[in-house]
Amino acid sequence: MAGDCSQCSFRAKYDRNRKSWLGRFWRWHINFCPGWKKYFLALPDDEREQLAKKYDFWKYRS
């Protein structure tokens, strides 16, 4: 699914209910999604840290 990661509907599902099927799929998917990597690494350091903490995502941590 190509698009803006900040407006992703699957991400919104995760934010509303972490245990939903689409929410869990989105969280698994960001571990290898090239679009998420590009989006995540383009963020300023402070926003990147906030997202990493919010989503328990430490893969591209610098």
**4-59: per-residue pLDDT in tens?**
899 999 999 999 999 999 999 999 999 999 999 999 999 999 999 999 999 999 88
Q: Flag whether 39 is in a domain.
A: yes
Torsion angle of C-alpha atoms 59, 31, 17, 6, degrees rounded to 10: 80
- pTM (2 d.p.): 0.85
* Both tokens assigned to 62: 């610098």
- pLDDT value, residue 54: 94
Q: Flag whether 17 is in a domain.
A: yes
Q: Which spans in 1-62 are helix H? A: 9-16, 21-29, 34-42, 45-55
Q: Flag whether 33 is in a domain.
A: yes
Look up the domain containing 23 and give its range: 5-55
Q: Flag whether 62 is in a domain.
A: no
Q: Flag whether 41 is in a domain.
A: yes
Q: Flag whether 60 is in a domain.
A: no
